[in-house]
Amino acid sequence: MTKLVVVSAGLSVPSSTRLLGDRLAAATAAHTGAEVQVIEVRDLAVEIAHNLTSGFPGPALAAALDAVTEADGLIVVTPVFSASYSGLFKSFFDVLGARDQDALAGKPVLIAATGGTARHSLVLDHALRPLFAYLRAVVVPTGVYAASEDWGAEGLPERVERAAGELAALLPTAAGRPVAALPPEAAGRPGAAESPGAAERPGAAERPAPPAARRAEPDGFTVVPFEEQLAALRG
């Protein structure tokens, strides 16, 4: 079964950070049927501090690091402190990187954050995205930021669903293939059943959807499809 791990760095109980992580996980699992595990970094604070000074993780921290390393995909959510991710959140991934530099290499990651004001939404692109790019993770295009006024307002559910769909497209299904590679008949897209002779054609069920084409912009830049960038990273 596909393993999806949520790393939540919320400090309060209840926590809006944990709530956002739960919503993203539920939306992703609805696409993939993934098994979800939530890691509350708050509960590991003492063991993280000990690991930073001794180099040895306690049993709970070791189990959390193993879960992240073995996951097929991650959802990471942090509250915003001083216009960046929290120190505890960063320390967790510092410990992970010190233990295994390749732990997140090529792993799909959805980044998210919560804060009291929409002015901190740039934390996604100015702090979280560079961090996970450095760790060589594959960060999905859409990050989700939730300010206090976003809860119960229009827009947040749509952003959650869009980001979850992008992450789900990079996760393996029960058959071991990414959701994005499923043929039309398996994905349930309209028009698949009307294709004459599709069931009789050898290999029709295994044929992936055609990749998006590159396109040239008027300013001379070439737009490379996300799937092609991902294939280059994995290769």
What is the pLDDT averaged over residues 64-88?
A: 96
Query: How high is the pLDDT of residue 177?
Result: 46
Tell me: pLDDT of 192 over 70.
no
Query: How high is the pLDDT of residue 1?
Result: 87
Phi, psi of 146 (to 5 degrees): -125, 110
Which range has the worst mean pLDDT, 62-66, 114-118, 176-180? Answer: 176-180
Tell me: pLDDT of 224 over 90.
no
Query: How high is the pLDDT of residue 168?
Result: 96
Query: How high is the pLDDT of residue 14?
Result: 87
For the entire predicted model, the pTM comes to: 0.74
What is the pLDDT averaged over residues 108-128?
A: 94
Q: Measured between alpha carbons, how far is 112 from 205 in angstroms, rounded to an integer? A: 35
Tell me: pLDDT of 213 over 80.
no
At 108, the pLDDT band (50, 70, 90 cuts) reads very high
Which position has the higher pLDDT, 197 or 234?
234
Query: How high is the pLDDT of residue 190?
Result: 37
Q: Measured between alpha carbons, how far is 54 from 52 in angstroms, rounded to an integer? A: 6
Percentage, residues of the chain above pLDDT 90: 66
Q: Pull the structure tokens for residue 71.
A: 């996951």
**CB within 8 A of 201, min separation 6: which ones?**
none
Which position has the higher pLDDT, 152 or 214?
152
Q: Does a cis peptide bond (omega within 30 degrees of 0) precede residue 14?
A: yes
Q: Pull the structure tokens for residue 96.
A: 């992970």
Query: How high is the pLDDT of residue 198?
Result: 38
Each as own residue / partner, the long-range contacts of residues 157-161 (CB below 8 Å, 24 or more positions apart, any chain) are 160/20, 160/23, 160/24, 160/27, 161/27
48: region left, alpha or beta (phi > 0 left; psi from -120 to 50 alpha): alpha
Residue with tokens 């073995």: 70
Query: How high is the pLDDT of residue 157?
Result: 95
Query: How high is the pLDDT of residue 223?
Result: 62
SS3 for the chain is CCEEEEEECCCCCCCHHHHHHHHHHHHHHHHHCCEEEEEEHHHHHHHHHHHHHHCCCCHHHHHHHHHHHHCCEEEEEEEEECCEECHHHHHHHHHHHHHCCCCCCCCEEEEEEEECCHHHCCHHHHHHHHHHHHCCCEECCCCEEEEHHHCCCCCHHHHHHHHHHHHHCCCECCCCCEHHHCCHHHHCCCCCCCCCCCCCCCCHHHCCCCCCCCEECCCCCEECCHHHHHHHHHC
Which range has the worst mean pLDDT, 51-60, 111-120, 190-199? Answer: 190-199
Contact 104, 135 (CB under 8 A): yes
What is the pLDDT averaged over residues 110-135?
A: 95
Alpha carbons within 13 angstroms on the beta-carbon side of residue 126 total 11
**Average of per-residue pLDDT values in the chain:** 83
Query: How high is the pLDDT of residue 219?
Result: 54
Tell me: pLDDT of 180 over 90.
no
